[in-house]
Amino acid sequence: SAVISQKPSRDICQRGTSLTIQCQVDSQVTMMFWYRQQPGQSLTLIATANQGSEATYESGFVIDKFPISRPNLTFSTLTVSNMSPEDSSIYLCSVKGASTEAFFGQGTRLTVV
Amino acid sequence: GNSVTQMEGPVTLSEEAFLTINCTYTATGYPSLFWYVQYPGEGLQLLLKATKADDKGSNKGFEATYRKETTSFHLEKGSVQVSDSAVYFCALSYTGGGNKLTFGTGTQLKVEL
């Protein structure tokens, strides 16, 4: 299994500002995924981040709002830009395991005020 | 498109009761199926998985069988404990879909003494 560390674990931010979330994995992985979990809801995939290429965004998510970096095989960042209260969610980083399963970080609990 | 439907919660049980959380899916091809658990304030943990029809995933007393004929992956446990209180997510992925996970809405389980 992979060990995934996310920072920060939580933050309270002012509307209009941006927050960058970091995801560090203890092994090299090709594919990393960013999910959003809005309060009381399930997880929705934001984008897939592969090293050496631009992230692939799901319907409803755009690069200007959620820019992603993937500088190497163990690290990625997700930025939530120009935040509004509707962006208050848990953001989770995920990687694919050796088989079919996925592993998740502890998540970043974001509150926008 | 792919989708996962879970029984709605919350589900409240007494300790040592039998648990069933229903999950059905719609998918193209032959997906892998998963149950993830989210304990209060934490990220997602893989509970069990099954990768082909008639496979049974099991872990910590929980079981689920991949039923292709009924497109189901119901989660069961014979005797729940207070420590099992959490939110349970059914999910699917398939290689042709870039290993992205599609989640159900989650079922909150509360176990009381």
Percent of residues, chain B, with pLDDT higher than 90: 80
Q: Which residues of A touch B (CB under 8 A)?
A: 6, 31, 33, 35, 41-45, 48, 56, 92, 94, 96, 99-107
Report chain A's C-alpha Rg in angstroms: 13
* Nearest-by-CA chain A residue for B52: A100
Contacts of A46 (CB under 8 A, 6+ apart): A34, A35, A36, A57, A58, A61, A66, A78, A91
d(CA B21, CA B17): 13
Q: Any chain A CB within 8 A of the CB of B44?
A: yes
**Chains A–B, number of C-beta pairs less than 8 Å apart:** 53
Is residue B49 pLDDT above 80, yes or no?
yes
Q: Are A92 and B44 inside 8 Å of each other by CB?
A: yes
Over residues B21-35, the mean pLDDT reads 92
**A67: burial class by Cβ within 10 Å (0-12, 13-18, 19+)?**
middle
* Cβ count within 10 A of residue A28: 11
* Cβ count within 10 A of residue B49: 23
- For A66-111, the pLDDT digits (tens) are 999 999 999 999 999 999 999 999 999 999 877 778 899 999 999 9
- For A1-42, the pLDDT digits (tens) are 788 999 999 999 999 999 999 999 999 988 899 999 998 888
Q: Are A106 and B43 inside 8 Å of each other by CB?
A: yes
Over residues A37-61, the mean pLDDT reads 90
> What is the per-residue pLDDT for A42?
86
Q: Are B100 and A33 inside 8 Å of each other by CB?
A: yes
- For B53-109, the pLDDT digits (tens) are 999 999 999 999 999 999 999 999 999 999 999 999 999 987 666 678 899 999 999
> What is the per-residue pLDDT for B96?
64
Over residues B15-39, the mean pLDDT reads 93
Closest CA to B79 of B1, B18, B29, B5: B18
Candidate from B42, B99, B106 with C-beta closest to A96 = B99
> What is the per-residue pLDDT for A20?
98
d(CA A84, CA B98): 30
Candidate from B32, B34, B100 with C-beta closest to A45 = B100
> What is the per-residue pLDDT for B10?
93
DSSP code of B67? B
Minimal CA separation from A104 to chain B, in Å = 6
pLDDT-based confidence at residue B7 (cuts at 50, 70, 90): confident
| Better-scored residue on pLDDT, A53 or B10 | B10
Minimal CA separation from B94 to chain A, in Å = 8
Q: Which of A38, A42, A59 to mutate to test the interface with B (most CBs of B within 10 A)?
A: A42
* Cβ count within 10 A of residue B28: 10
